[in-house]
Amino acid sequence: MTIKYYDVDSTSDTRRAALDTTNSYLEKVSSGSYFEYVIDSDKERTISISAEIATNAYLTKAGDTNYKDYDTGIEGFNQSYIGSYDLDMSRIVKLSNTINDVTTEFDTNKNAIAKGHVINAEDDAEIAKNYRLPAQQWEMADDLCTKKFENLELGEIKLSKGTNIVRITLNGYLAKNTWSFGGYACGNWKSISITFK
């Protein structure tokens, strides 16, 4: 059983998901794309799908008036990019199973939230000592705000006997990533797991 990723087919917007080979995850996952499994099942059963996801919704002082005068309190950290927003994966992920050309959708777990983080001295002053600031501000912000992967339970799908085409389709709602397709943040994805029940 192999999972495949199908990116958006568009010539009007060339921004695409890419593999971060240094940290082994798929970054800038595109709104309108999907992951697909083909599962041959010998009987009816339920599977549970979970994934290691980190938010990639950028929070900047220039883009959010609530933070325009924000000071992290960390010496040498003065850039506009200061954090990330929570990503509600239940609003992004659509789970489905297609059997004999009939597609059934399943609910996504409402608690599947990829947590954001705003850099602040209380939480981050100690770890900031590991970076050469201000030169490594962006790297520090990425590490603390868009690479904190959490294993999120996305939901359950019912399989039927025969060939099941299981999809995890992504549709962004939060336009907070200028490097992603359409500007929508759909998360950085490190792994996807299926548990057979």
Which is nearest to 191 in space by CA: 33, 26, 55? 26
Residue numbers in the chain where pLDDT is lower than 70? 1
For residue 50, give both structure tokens. 């979970």
Instruction: List the end-to-end C-alpha distance of the chain, in Å, as a whole number.
Output: 16
At 185, which amino acid appears? A
pTM, entire model: 0.93
The values of phi and psi at residue 139, to 5°, are -60, -45
pLDDT at 172: 97
pLDDT at 11: 79
d(CA 123, CA 106): 38
pLDDT at 1: 66
133's torsion region: left (phi>0), alpha (psi -120 to 50) or beta? beta
d(CA 184, CA 127): 29
d(CA 56, CA 189): 10
For residue 27, give both structure tokens. 């970054």
d(CA 13, CA 194): 32
Can you list the domains of the chain with their CATH numbers?
Answer: 3-196 (2.60.120.260)
Please return the burial class of 110, using the count of CB atoms within 10 Å of its CB with bins 0-12, 13-18 and 19+. Answer: exposed
d(CA 112, CA 138): 27
List, for residues 117-171, the tens digit of each pLDDT value: 999 999 999 999 999 999 999 999 999 999 999 999 999 999 999 999 999 999 9
